[in-house]
Structure 1
Amino acid sequence: MAVCPILKYPDPGLARSCQPVRVFDENLKALAHDLLDTMRAAPGVGITAAHIGIFTRLVVLELSKEIGPRFYANPEILALSEETMRHMEGSVSMPGVTDEIERPRKIRFRYQDIDGAFHEEEAEGFYAVCMQHEIDQLGGIFWLKRLSRLKRERLIRKWGKGK
């Protein structure tokens, strides 16, 4: 597999909505494993195909080495809890920049695996935060959009100075 170049903020591709995965074949599996290698090299715990300029609805998460990587095609949120939590977030497209984001603590979501089979799951805590973060990215919503304008502008200035 291969480590691919990652789009860096403010690349316009990071604001682009992704198209659904329609073909579940060896090419999709190869892309999923390239994403995994790229995410590990970054390093990160989550990545989408959009992060490498391929605008298809594919997510890879590896929240722990014990669980290993998981692949999600066409994920969509079905329900969000009213209870929220705050968690530090960042992006492989903006390394070294993080801030606290508030999101629902629990979600219910549907996705397809890389063979095309449908699944529904509930996620809570860190898993729920990560899935929401990556699904946002598939919709062209970069994580900074979840911050207040003041915080967002401060982080963008910090990012500009560090490049």
Structure 2
Amino acid sequence: MMFDVRVQLQTFDPEQEQRALREALPGIGAMVSFVGILRDLNHGQAVHEMVLEHYPGMTEKVLHQLLEEARARWSLAGGRIIHRVGALHPTDAIVLVVTASTHRSDAFRACEFLIDALKTQAPFWKRELTPAGPRWVQTREQDALSAARWKSG
């Protein structure tokens, strides 16, 4: 089994990360991934840059806890969460969540759970730089609703 979490300033290659996980787990039958990408437009305004801040140590702890919760709920052979921090620009990959399992249903559910939970529970703060000046990104109501559906099991 292979499970890991990384919070980093450096860019990453989602395809390379998926390939490495797949090659390390020859017994899997399914791998599901989500890549979050910085948009150049949010709430009708251009976004030139986004700065992601986090609580070092606490952020990694929360992401590990979420991965452990996914492992307890679904039959997973592996999982990987990579999240960028620092200055990002449109088209940059922000986050990668990958889950691997013998069967697709567990991999799909675990991946969806992880990204929903990450959006609402991980201690990240996002500040967008727009033509009108900087602004903090608030949690969307839809993100909270998506995360709440997993509470019932």
Q: Give the TM-score normalised by structure 2.
A: 0.26
Q: More relative contact order in 1 or in 2 (CA 8 Å, sep 6+)? A: 2
Larger strand proportion of the pair: 2
TM-score (norm 1): 0.25
